[in-house]
A and B are shown apart, each in its own frame.
Chain A
Amino acid sequence: MKKKLLAVAAAGALTAATAVPALALENEFHGMFRLFGTVANYGQSNSSTGATSGSTLTAPELADNAPTRNFVEQRARLMYIAKANDDLKLVTHFEIDSRWGDSSYTNGRNVGGAIGADTVDIETKNVYLDFNIPSTPMNFKVGIQPFIDSYGGIFVNADIAGAQAIAKYAGFTNTLGFFRFTEAVGTLPGKADRDLFVADVKYDITKDIKLGGSYYLMHSDLVVTPGVGNPNAYTHMVGLNSSMKFDPVTLNVFGLYQFGDNPGPISSSNTGNAINTPATRNSKVDAYALGATAKAKLGPGTLKLAGIYVSGEQQTPAGAAGKDTGAFQAVAGESNFFAADMYILLRNKYNINSDRALVHTVSNVTGGFIGYDANITSKLFANVNVGAAWAAQVTNKGTASEPDSNYLGTELNAEVGYRLFDNMTASVLGAYVILGDFYQKTKGGTDNNFDDPYRASLMLNYAF
Chain B
Amino acid sequence: MKKMAVMIMAALMMSATVPALAADMTKEEKDQCLLASKNCAAEVDSIQKKIKKLNAEIKKGKKAYSAEEIKKLEQKLDEADKMLDQILSGPGGGN
In the complex, which residue of chain B has the Cβ closest to the Cβ of A10? B8
Residue in B3, B15, B49, B94 whose beta carbon sits within 8 Å of that of A333 in the complex: B94
Residues of B within 8 A of A347 (CB): 93-94
Closest to B44 in A: A29
* Closest Cβ–Cβ distance, residue A288 to chain B (whole Å): 23
Q: Mark B1-23, 1 if CB is under 8 A from A, else 0.
A: 10110011011101100100000
A79-B83 in contact (CB<8A): yes
CA distance A27 to B43 in the complex (A): 11
Cβ-defined contact, A4 with B3, below 8 A: yes
CB–CB A158/B92 < 8 A: yes
A47 at the interface (CB under 8 A from B): no
B7 and A77 contact, CB distance less than 8 A: no
Contact of A11 among B7, B47, B83, B93 (CB under 8 A): B7
Chain A residues with CB under 8 Å of B18's CB are: 18
Q: Quick one: CB contact mask for A1-40 with B, threshold 8 Å, 1 for yes?
A: 0011011101100110011000000011111100000000
Partner among A159, A334, A463 whose Cβ is within 8 Å of the Cβ of B47: A463
Q: Mark A425-452, 1 if CB is under 8 A from B, else 0.
A: 0000000000000000000000000000
Judge whether B86 is part of the interface by a CB distance below 8 angstroms: yes
Q: Which residues of A contact B12 (CB under 8 A)?
A: 14
Q: How large is the interface on A (under 10, 10 to 19, 20 to 34, 35 or more residues)?
A: 35 or more
| Residue numbers in A under 8 Å from B83 (CB-CB) | 30, 79
Given A14-B11, A79-B87, A463-B84, residue A355 in contact with residue B94 (CB < 8 A): yes
A353 in contact (CB, < 8 A): yes
Scan residues 355-369 of chain A and give those whose CB is less than 8 A from a CB of chain B.
355, 360
| Interface: B89 (CB within 8 A) | yes
In the complex the two chains form, is B90's CB within 8 Å of A125's CB? yes
Hey, which chain B residues are within 8 Å of A353, CB to CB? 94-95
Point out which of A19, A423, A461, A464 has the most chain B C-beta atoms below 10 A from its C-beta: A464
B54-80 interface code vs A (CB 8 A; 1 in, 0 out): 000000000000000000000000000
| Interface of B toward A, CB cutoff 8 Å | 1, 3-4, 7-8, 10-12, 14-15, 18, 44, 46-49, 83-84, 86-95
Q: A30-B87, A159-B91 are in contact. List 8 more A-B contacts (CB 8 A).
A: A3-B3, A11-B7, A158-B91, A338-B89, A349-B89, A463-B47, A463-B48, A464-B48
